A and B are shown apart, each in its own frame.
Chain A
Amino acid sequence: DIQMTQSPSTLSASVGDRVTITCRASQSIGIWLAWYQQKPGKAPNLLIYKASTLESGVPSRFSGSGSGTEFTLTISSLQPDDFATYYCQQYNTFFTFGPGTKVDIK
């Protein structure tokens, strides 16, 4: 099974900050990686797929990069609506989520 890790597990930041979250896979997954945002009590919302493709309707301050085993999600200028938990997910072989990164207010 492919295992996913994320770092950091929690990130404290301020509005306007540039934020980067890292996701690593236990083996190469090519570009088959997605990022989701989840707010408390809500279903996850797809942000990025194929490592770097922005889902329709997602603000351009979100971007993704990477391939193989290492990936990043970047929020260029953190907005109040962005405080949430972010999950990566590989879909090269079945589907596996990372443990999540909580972005909270500094």
Chain B
Amino acid sequence: QVQLVQSGAEVKKSGASVKVSCKASGYIFTDYYIHWVRQAPGQGLEWMGWVNPHTGGTNYAQKFRGRVTMTRDTSISTAYMGVSSLRSDDTAMYYCAKQRAYGDLLPGYWGQGTLVTVSS
């Protein structure tokens, strides 16, 4: 069965960087895009971008361009999402999600989330 297992919670200082991992299993990793979505405490969902595991190509929401980097390592079926120059408003739960189906880019199956806390 499809599984997306994310790395553990992180606590970072303002100005630092963080890198969250998302290990996939139960399907062919390179066949489906991985999305990243975040949710600030008590707030709604915010799409950040996607990475194409086959090519490494990415597409970022305008808000995150220049500060977010999405990569992947096909040898270990793992996607990564990094955020630099962290601010307090980056405190959020970060989710990875697999493309729903071949030909349908919609986020379908989600990881359990990684809480990133940014303190000053």
A91 close to B (CB within 8 Å):
yes
User: How long is the Cα–Cα vector from A42 to B15 in the complex, in angstroms?
Assistant: 28
A99-B110 contact, Cβ under 8 Å, with A49-B100, A49-B104, A94-B61: no
Q: Is the CB of A43 within 8 A of B111?
A: yes
Q: Is the CB of B107 within 8 A of A95?
A: yes
Q: Whose C-beta in chain B lies nearest to the C-beta of A53?
A: B104
Q: Is the CB of A97 within 8 A of B45?
A: yes
A46-B44 contact, Cβ under 8 Å, with A1-B62, A94-B61, A95-B35: no
Interface size on B, as a range, is 20 to 34
User: How long is the Cα–Cα vector from A91 to B44 in the complex, in angstroms?
Assistant: 17
A100 close to B (CB within 8 Å):
yes
Which residues from 58 to 106 on chain A have a C-beta closer than 8 Å to any C-beta of chain B? Answer: 87, 89, 91, 94-100
Instruction: Say how far B41's CB is from chain A's closest CB, in angstroms.
Output: 12
Instruction: Say how far A32's CB is from chain B's closest CB, in angstroms.
Output: 8
Q: Whose C-beta in chain B lies nearest to the C-beta of A97?
A: B45
Q: Whose C-beta in chain A lies nearest to the C-beta of B6?
A: A43
Interface size on A, as a range, is 20 to 34
Q: Is the CB of B47 within 8 A of A94?
A: yes
Which residues from 12 to 53 on chain A have a C-beta closer than 8 Å to any C-beta of chain B? Answer: 34, 36, 38, 43-46, 49
Chain A residues with CB under 8 Å of chain B are 1, 34, 36, 38, 43-46, 49, 55, 87, 89, 91, 94-100
The 10 closest A-B pairs by CB, nearest first: A43-B110, A95-B47, A97-B45, A100-B44, A99-B44, A91-B106, A46-B108, A49-B106, A34-B106, A43-B95
